[in-house]
Structure 1
Amino acid sequence: MDFVTPALLFGAAAAALPVVLHLVMRQQPRHLEFPALRFVQRRESANRRRMRLRHLLLLLLRMAVLCLLAFGLARPSIKSSGFIGDQEAPVAAAMVFDTSPRMDYKSENKTRLEEARETADWLVKQLPPDSLVAVLDSTPGQPVFQVDLGAARQRISRLETTAAPQDLWDVIEQAVELLRKGEPERKEMPERKELYVFSDLTKAEWDPRAAAKLRQRLAESLGLGIYVIDVGVKEPQNLALGELRLLAESITRNRPWSLATEVVSTGLAAERAVEVYLVNESGEEEKRAQDIVAVASGASQGTEFSLGPLDTGTHQGFVRMVGADGLAADDRRWFTLDVKPPWKVLVASSPPLYERTRYFTEALAPDGFRQTGRAQFECDVVSFGELPQRTLEDYAVVALVDPGALDDDVWNQLDRYAESGGGVGIFLGAAARPESYQSVAAKRLLPGELGKFPRNFPDGDKYLVISSEQHPMVAKFRPLEGSVPWDAFPIYRYWPLHKRPKGTAVVATCNKEPLLVERPVGKGHVVLMTTPISMLNSAGDEPWNELVRGLENWPYFMLVLQVGSYLAGSTEGQLNYLAGETAVLRLSADERYTTYLLTTPRGDTYRQSADPKQRAIVVTSTAWVGNYQVTAGGEQGGLDRGFSVNLPPSASELGRTDEDGLKQVFGDTEFRLARSRDEIDRQMSTGRVGRELFPLLMALVALVLAVEHVMSNRFYRSERKA
């Protein structure tokens, strides 16, 4: 407990006045001769005791009135924790602003960030002179105190939302640390320290599970006044486009392509038109497709677009939702798509070449697609004897189908090819000779060491399973988890791998023995499959598996296609990112220049150099959503690539938390929540001075006076009657 005017406590000495008056004005009894009657004496003694008790009670009540009056005028206050003192004493204040994209939500023609800026500007004017103010937002940076209050107001007026905000907890922790330690060059800090957090209080931002470290830091910062300023809308209404999903980010020429998204509703039911646009070579936006989507309140409704083939090159565009709503930032999603010529694959096997490779090549390049120019791969089939005469660098993938004994020259040739970035697929069968794979050259390339004899399971009770679901080679199988009938395609024989494979076992048998192992070699990749990829094998009539058999053998074709795409590098070239992620644009040999020009969605241009180790352009700053362009070598025949950046779906989650949710965030640390300027002013007064007891004490004075008045009238009336 503390007092605003402690000097007035000396007024409690006035409580002695009733005692003095009582003693001074006490009537002295007169001595009168009266017959000594025993009954009268007893009655007089009882009356005297009763009168003394009444006078003492009235005396105490009058003393209590004076004490309570002095106590109340001293303005006592109570505060559970923190520094209490003069409201006009300087403070060290840190103002934290949530500048995530959600703060662009507009209500009554004002965004939440504009509301926060106006409130903070008013608040700075209320701070005592000589106060220190630090302004922190969701953009990464070093927190510092502003030079003066004017500089703080100017900093607040320039705040903008960012598409790649850091966690609000991290910003608050930085503010707490600044208030606790101060700045090294600043010797003195005001005693009172205050933290203000301006936010729309969305659940996505105020997740108690992510605030454990913050609670610990706040527990160490005793005496810190914490104020949460709610600038959000109680019942937000918004429509948003969800995550944009491309079937593939890199496709081959003359193939159709598709994309999908959904309309997500918060607080309203509506019908909206969703449109797909492509940007042509002249920079003009061409509308390619449209769909009308109706969505219920609090629900989502998906939509999918299938579009026609595109010419070779990089294509960029966007999907937009027509119509206005509270948050415009999530009404548009950008995308980038690479269209390439078919990847060339060199397939080596033993005669008869067609019979041994036809299922494999048909899976990579179906005959119908080849004839119409829509095949993703272009296969050249040769014998193992022709392999040394081929220039492997002309191919994206080299596949060995059921290889036998190979010379060290071939192993060395394949190793150099993989080191330079090529993809090598080795699909074993009955022709394999494990003893010939023990050379240094072979071991340098192979992901594992083969056992001497294959393992046999004639009952057909073994089948393959995806053992590394996160591997990009099998990414397309993830949405189909549980629906792929692998057990319908038994594995009868396979080559075991001794020891632990040097790579990742992507596919295994149901008894967890590796069937398909991948390992990086230099800049390329090597894939080893220990059961045949084609149905025919060198030993003759006994099949090793039934992956190709049956009418429902689509998993086989899908697996071969994914392995081929991975080895060709199509799964590595990510072109669509979330804000804040590092974008890596991989370059081919003919796309290497000294410098590159990066153009951001805002039109800013920067010179960029390639990372020689990754053979890629690495862009670490993706704070703006939209389409980025990378150019080099001039307009004629030069490089023209790009990538896109979008907001994460969580940026559209506008559901709000409440005071109970905030209590879970702050734990045992006291905080004050305010939603208007009057509430802020009241909470600041309570936080700085404490909760004043003056109104309570004045009410108590009135009550004691009333009791004293009633009792005195009753007592004196009784005396007169007596």
Structure 2
Amino acid sequence: MTFLNPAVLIGLLAAAIPVIIHLLNLRKLKKIEFSTLAFLKELQKNKIRKIKIKQWLLLVLRVLIILFIVLAFARPALRGLSIAGTTSAAKTTAVLIIDDTFSMSVLSQNGSYFNQAKDFAKKIIEQLKEGDEAALLFLSEKNQRLGLTNDFNSLINELNQKEISYLTPDLNKVITIAAQLVNKSNNFNREIYLITDFQKNILPSTGIKSDLSELLNENIKLYSFSLSDKKVFNIGIDDLKINNQIFEKNKPITFSVTLSNYSEQNVQNGVLSLFLNNKRAAQKSFDIEVGKSVLTDVEALSDATGFIEVTAEVETDDVEFDNKKFSSLFIPDKILTLIISDENSSSRFLKLALQTISDGKIKFNEKNSNQLGGIQLKNYDVVFLCSDNLSHSADRLIQFLKDGGSLVIIPSINADLNRLNDILQKLNIPSAPGFAGKLNDKSLSVQFDKIDFNHPVFRNLFRENDKKNIESPVINYFVKHSTQGKGISIIKLSDGSSFLSEFKTGNGKIFFFNTAFDPGWSNFPIKAIFAPLLVKSVFYLSQKENLQNNLLAGEFISIDLNKIKSPQTKVIRPDGTIDFLNLEPAGQKSIEYKNTNLVGFYKIYSGNEIIDNVAVNHDRTESNLVYADKNDFEKYLEQINFMGNLIYIEKNKNPLEEINQARFGSELWRIFLLIAIILAVAEMSIARNVKKDLEGIKS
């Protein structure tokens, strides 16, 4: 037996009062002479004997009355025994943990696991009484509503409004929060309910260092309720990759889609559909064996420019939440380039190439090096540097590269090696030891030796059979340069030097040609490869690397403030709701947007202009519907040093009956008080009888 108010037990000392009073009042009866009738004396002795017995009985009753009253106020309760009419009297603190991950969307004959979990939670809440308290926690909720409440209607409303989440669950974090809540409570019954399908991925991996033994002590009960009861058919899309690095309108784009069979049956002639901007662009069939994954390549064309939303989708199965995967790409309508040149002869062939075969997609402005300080470089996608006169403006180019811009370095026709090397060193590009060959003299010329045809600038540039038949230009004067492992050599010359190299600085890319675009240096500007290679290079360099194309629900989106041109910045979420962003404090380069609990596309606007479109996806681990058994769960509880009482509630049992049978907390104060009242009535009756007997003797 446990006492919920043990401090009152000190009142048991009051039980000594009747004894003390009895001892103080104890006295001998006065002798009263009667007649010589002997039988009257014998009668007197019998009455006195009965009165003494009744007085001792009164003493016992009075002591018991005080004892039972004190014990009633001390609130005695029984562990492990349910007595009708007493169980609900013990105050209860209940923390309910609901699995809201999308594996709970599985439908069984009793409805979805998630709806069953909500119904079960409602029944537990509805049986709580005045003085009880409760809290709701969800496995994947990042911002849990902490604190206990006795407003049970609000909890039921919260349950009714709750929907399945795409966020990754964190069982250990939620168990820790639940333990903290129940540990703060003074209620007799302290209970945690875990209602889940027990998908194995919710259990943390081994090596958890949490010690919750003090919080989850022997006074805590953990009720475990498993909802899974069927074999699930599920095909999940695990990954969607865009293989192209150059995107052009009406040009092929190749996608790789990874599909996995998480079922116990083979799949034949499944259908994968690919949508671009919500229009079906391609379709392909697939076969997958049980427990296997397949990589499927799909090719499609986009007839639009700007941000393109890519969605891969498979047919409906038992878990629809992983039937789609999202990605985003950008096809430029116009590419803005800047040509920095101090003499027209250094850039004339470059401008001619951009004008003739880019179909107007590439727009360029030309400035000399002295004007670079006043130019807003962030307005351009690619900068062509045909000058080495940058003694005061190199830092601006470095920042342009860090912010994601791209640079093409082309020696001017009057290149100065020292100034050129100074620029290369500031951009962290290896210096050149010198020039090779002679101007306007082909006697010491070199040609192309090795070409990396796998580089994106050569993709779809030639017919497959024409790749090895490129007519090499004759290069008679050039900067003898090598990447020295800091970049890649796209085209190498026969003397081993690099004709075209690629380097990376910050988020930007750099192309370095080792010869000027001038007939005195080489005949490269008049070769057939010249203009296509330059235009393809511009398309490649203008593509910003999408570092946020593999975000999972719950991860933050980084918004580049350099793209913000309007004080009103907003995010349109996948469900159409809008979040307006506060850009304070000033001076930041980016801000984090964290409200990414939905999968799909998050469109970011500066004013009326869309500046980014970020795809957010589900966590693939949630697709694998392998369920944990009791041993798996108990091993986890051992890792966190769970010291409480674990109670499994089977699906075929009445959960409320199971809880009532397992719950300790039958309070006995009503019974004790009733006994005290009965004893008091008996005491009054006996005391009245004793008084009459005493009066009879005295008379």
**TM class, shorter-chain normalised?**
0.5 to 0.7
- 1:640-695 deviation digits (Å, cap 9, x = unpaired): 864333212223121111122112211153533333262754476456489xxxxx
Q: Which of 188, 209, 212 is residue 212 of structure 1 equivalent to?
A: 209
- Mapped to 2, the partners of 1:274 and 1:619 lie a distance apart of 32
Shift of 1:395: 3.7
Q: Identity over aligned residues, as a percent?
A: 17
User: Aligned equivalents of 1:653 and 1:97: distance in 2?
Assistant: 19
The TM-score normalised by the length of structure 2 is 0.59
Please tell me whether the aligned partners of residues 198 and 627 of structure 2 are also in contact (alpha carbons under 8 angstroms). yes
1:591-636 deviation per Cα after TM superposition (whole angstroms, max 9, x unaligned): 72231454333232343455765677853211122334445656xx
Contact 2:548/2:615, CA 8 A, preserved across alignment: no
8 Å CA contact 1:345–1:379 kept in 2: the answer is yes
Counterpart of 1:309?
302
- Hey, what does 2:333 align to over in structure 1? 341
The answer to whether the 8 Å contact 1:203/1:656 transfers is yes
1:379: how far off? 8.2
Task: Please say if 1:277 is aligned against 2:270.
Answer: no
1:659 has 2:642 as partner: no
| Secondary structure class of the residue paired with 2:116 | helix
Tell me which residue corresponds to 1:592: 565
Structure 1, residues 296-349: CA drift from partner, whole Å, max 9, x if none?
222233333211233322333533323x32112122334433221353455679
> Do 2:377 and 2:400's aligned partners in 1 also have CA atoms closer than 8 Å?
yes
- The verdict on how the C-alpha distance between 1:422 and 1:205 changes in structure 2, with shifts beyond 3 A counting, is same
- Shift in alpha-carbon separation, 1:94–1:563, aligned structure 2, 3 A: farther
Contact 1:249/1:336 (CA < 8 Å) preserved in 2?
A: no
The structure-2 alpha-carbon separation of the partners of 1:373 and 1:86, relative to structure 1 and needing over 3 Å to count, comes to: farther
Q: Confirm or deny that 1:259 pairs with 2:234.
A: no
Q: Deviations over 1:368-414 (max 9, x none)?
A: x9848598x7789999899899986664223447x7x6452453664
Deviations 1:491-516 (A, max 9, x none): x964889xxxxxxx6779xxxxxx97
Q: Identify the residue that residue 171 of structure 1 maps to in structure 2.
A: 174
2:322 to 319, 325, 330: 330
Q: Secondary structure at the match of 2:200?
A: coil
Separation of aligned partners in 2, 1:420 and 1:149:
52
Which of 667, 674, 693 is matched with 2:649 structurally?
674
Does residue 1:161 correspond to 2:158, yes or no?
no
Distance (Å, rounded) in 2 between the aligned partners of 1:173 and 1:147 = 21
State the partner residue of 1:112: 113
Q: What is the alpha-carbon distance in structure 2 between the residues aligned to residue 221 and residue 562 of structure 1?
A: 64
Compute the displacement of 1:449 (Å). Answer: 9.3
Deviation, structure 1 residue 571: 0.8
Map 1:410-559 → 2, pairs under 5 A: 411=394, 414=397, 422-424=405-407, 433=417, 446-448=426-428, 494=482, 518-520=504-506, 525=508, 533-534=513-514
1:619 maps to 593
Instruction: Name the SS of the counterpart of 2:181 in structure 1.
Output: helix
- Unaligned runs of 5+ residues in structure 2 are 4-77, 435-449, 451-455, 460-479, 490-500, 522-531, 667-699
- Residue 53 of structure 1 corresponds to which residue in structure 2? none
Q: In the alignment, which residue of structure 1 is the partner of 2:235?
A: 239
> What is the alpha-carbon distance in structure 1 between the residues aligned to residue 348 and residue 514 of structure 2?
6
Distance in 1 of aligned mates of 2:310 and 2:381: 28
Q: Is this contact kept in 1: 2:339–2:384, CA < 8 A?
A: yes
Distance 2:205 2:79 in 1: 29
Match of 1:14 in 2: none
TM-score when normalising by structure 1? 0.58
Q: Which residue of 1 aligns with 2:683?
A: none
Find the counterpart in structure 2 of residue 198 from structure 1.
195
SS in 2 for 1:178: helix
SS in 1 for 2:124: helix
Instruction: Describe the SS at the equivalent of 1:204.
Output: helix
Q: Which amino acid aligns with 1:607?
A: F
Task: Tell me what 1:581 maps to.
Answer: 555
| Cα displacement (A) at 1:96 | 0.8
Whether 2:575 is the aligned partner of 1:602: answer yes
CA distance in 2: counterparts of 1:449 and 1:266, whole angstroms: 49
Q: Distance in 1 between matches of 2:203 and 2:603?
A: 35
Partner of 1:678, secondary structure, is: coil
The more displaced of 675-684 and 173-182 is 675-684
- Show structure 1 runs of 5+ residues with no match: 4-82, 183-188, 280-284, 455-463, 465-472, 477-491, 498-504, 509-514, 542-556, 691-722
Partner AA of 2:573 in structure 1: T
Kindly report the root-mean-square deviation, in angstroms, between the aligned alpha carbons of the 2 structures.
5.4
Per the TM alignment, residue 176 of structure 1 is displaced from its structure 2 partner at its CA by 0.8
Mapped contact 1:133–1:149 kept (Cα < 8 A): yes
Alpha-carbon contact 1:239-1:266 (below 8 Å) kept: yes
- CA distance in 1 between counterparts of 2:174 and 2:319 reads 24
Distance 1:392 1:355, change over 3 A: closer
Secondary structure of 1:314's counterpart equals strand
Single out whichever of 262-271 and 132-141 deviates more from structure 2.
262-271
Alignment-mate amino acid for residue 107 of structure 1 = S
Structure 2 counterpart of 1:99: 100
8 Å contact kept, 2:80–2:661: no
The higher-RCO structure (CA 8 Å, 6+ apart) is 2
Secondary structure of the corresponding residue to residue 209 of structure 1: coil
Q: SS of the counterpart of 1:310?
A: coil
- Look up the SS of the partner of 2:635 in the other structure: helix
Letter of the aligned partner of 2:170 in structure 1?
Answer: D
Deviations 1:400-434 (A, max 9, x none): 47x7x645245366468668874445589997745
What SS is found at the alignment partner of 1:217?
coil
Higher mean displacement: 126-135 or 255-264: 126-135
Distance 2:663 2:620 in 1: 38
Quote how far apart the aligned CAs of 1:446 are.
Answer: 1.4
Contact preservation (8 Å) 1:261, 1:303: yes
* Residue pair 1:353, 1:383 contacting (<8 A) in 2 also: no
Return the alpha-carbon distance in structure 1 between the equivalents of residues 604 and 192 of structure 2.
43
1:513-571 CA distance string (max 9 Å, x none) = xx976544xxx7585x8xx6547999x99xxxxxxxxxxxxxxx99x999977864611
Residues in 2 aligned to 1:416 and 1:682: alpha-carbon distance in whole angstroms: 67
* Structure 1 contact 269–297 (Cα < 8 Å) conserved: yes
Q: Distance in 2 between matches of 1:145 and 1:387?
A: 63
Q: Structure 1, residues 199-240: CA drift from partner, whole Å, max 9, x if none?
A: 111121113337432xx1246531222222111235322222
Residue 233 and residue 422 in structure 1: after superposition, are their counterparts in 2 closer, same or farther (change >3 A)?
Answer: same
Give the counterpart letter for 1:104 in structure 2.
Answer: S
Cα deviation per residue 1:37-70 (whole Å; 9 max; x = unaligned)?
xxxxxxxxxxxxxxxxxxxxxxxxxxxxxxxxxx
Looking at structure 2, the residues matched to 385 and 153 of structure 1 have their Cα atoms a distance apart, in angstroms, of: 70
How many residues matched?
518
